[in-house]
Amino acid sequence: MSSPPALHVSDLRKVYDNGVTALHGISLDVGEGDFFALLGPNGAGKSTLIGIISSLVNASAGTVEVFGVDVARRRGDAMRLVGLVPQEINFNLFERPFDILVNYAGFHGVPRALAIERAHEELARAHLSGKAHLTSRTLSGGMKRRLMIARALMTRPRLLILDEPTAGVDIEIRRGMWQQMREINASGTTVILTTHYLEEAEELCRNIAIIDHGRIVQHTAMKALLATLDVEGFVFDIDGELPALLPQIEGVRLTARDVRTLDVEMPRTMNLNLLFSALGESGIVVRSMRNRSNRLEELFLRLTAREVAAS
Ligand SMILES: Nc1ncnc2c1ncn2[C@@H]1O[C@H](COP(=O)(O)OP(=O)(O)OP(=O)(O)O)[C@@H](O)[C@H]1O
Ligand SMILES: [Mg+2]
């Protein structure tokens, strides 16, 4: 018999007391060991879904199972399988990291001796061992974020859910957290990550669901999704100045951003060397280049625009 998926969501609906329908009957599966991205704009229903999975919010209809355990019928069992990292830092800033971890585990029924052992382990994994006994208030922003994740791991969840853990943090902190999340996933924990940073999903996740207005608009492998994008955008920095008249190159759209900067849209399959030599023939020498925008972001805008057009 094959084991149940880490998460099975079937026809899930949520209507809040004020009449707002946050989820219009969504279905979703996340395999064990996956690193799964849940993407969507503000108000899409991501936190509502996460709230239901982690037993903080009651569903109006439909089912959610975590490793085969129904969260509504076996709440306690399901809760033991799930670890949640909420978006906002919500530990007591006057407590010490070590105590935050031990007390959290104790609250969730982990015996004290075991909790202490795990706290040492998790602090080391989060590179916070040296900060264990300082007031949390003195931790940097990145350290506080890592502590939030370490805390969720104290119960050894098989499914870790992170609700926009990198919202509003700078790229350096984000990269540190990416590493931490990768290690957690590599150790066998299934990870679901919600994010507004599309490059983050692209960087970390194997599968993805895009949710908009309480509906799943896409549920697929990250690679398959990226493969559907046929056009790539670049920005070229030019040596010298661009000519007044840009060359015509088949399949390529060139737009001068300023005299030294060229916006380029080209088919993904096109050979860049061909483009460089075609530009060279017009006296345009490319000094450096970068990706113009996030491909996933473009796709996301397209998908959600289609939804709006259809509704
Ligand atoms: N407790 C609540 N009571 C009433 N309506 C709510 C409640 N929580 C969320 N909603 C509404 O449900 C919808 C989905 O909200 P949700 O917080 O799930 O979105 P989200 O995708 O997490 O958004 P964000 O990216 O901004 O965090 C929104 O219209 C929101 O206003
Ligand atoms: Mg949210």
Report CA torsion sign: 261, 266, 268, 271: negative
Q: Whose CA is nearest to atom 3 of ligand 1?
A: 16
pLDDT for 233 equals 83
| CA 65 / ligand 1 centre spacing (Å) | 22
Q: Whose CA is nearest to atom 27 of ligand 1?
A: 42
pLDDT for 293 equals 63
| CA 22 / ligand 1 centre spacing (Å) | 6
Does 86 contact ligand 1 (Cβ within 6 A)?
Answer: no
List, in sequence order, every residue forming a beta bridge with 235; answer none if it has no partner: 263, 290
List, in sequence order, every residue forming a beta bridge with 209; answer none if it has no partner: 38, 219
| CA 235 / ligand 2 centre spacing (Å) | 33
Ligand 1 pocket mutation pick from 48, 52, 195, 300 by most atoms within 8 angstroms of CB = 48
The Cα–Cα gap between 74 and 90 comes to 27
Report angle CA 150, 152, 157 to the nearest 5 degrees.
115
Does 16 contact ligand 1 (Cβ within 6 A)?
Answer: yes
| CA 47 / ligand 2 centre spacing (Å) | 4
pTM: 0.81
Q: What are the tens digits of pLDDT across the range 189-229?
A: 999 999 877 778 888 999 999 999 999 999 999 988 877 77
Buried b (16+ CB within 10 A) or exposed e, 76-90: eebbbbbbbbbbeee
As given in the structure block, the two tokens for residue 127 are 């590179």
Q: Which residue ranges in the chain fall short of pLDDT 50?
A: none
Report CA torsion sign: 224, 266, 210, 218: negative
Does 47 contact ligand 1 (Cβ within 6 A)?
Answer: yes
Q: Whose CA is nearest to atom 24 of ligand 1?
A: 42
Q: Whose CA is nearest to atom 22 of ligand 1?
A: 47
> Quick check: helix, strand or coil at residue 162?
strand
pLDDT for 155 equals 95
Q: Whose CA is nearest to atom 4 of ligand 1?
A: 16
Q: What is the DSSP string of 77-140?
A: HHHHHEEEE-SS--S-TTS-HHHHHHHHHHHTT--HHHHHHHHHHHHHHTT-GGGTTS-GGGS-
CB contact set of 88 (below 8 Å; sequence gap of 6+):
none
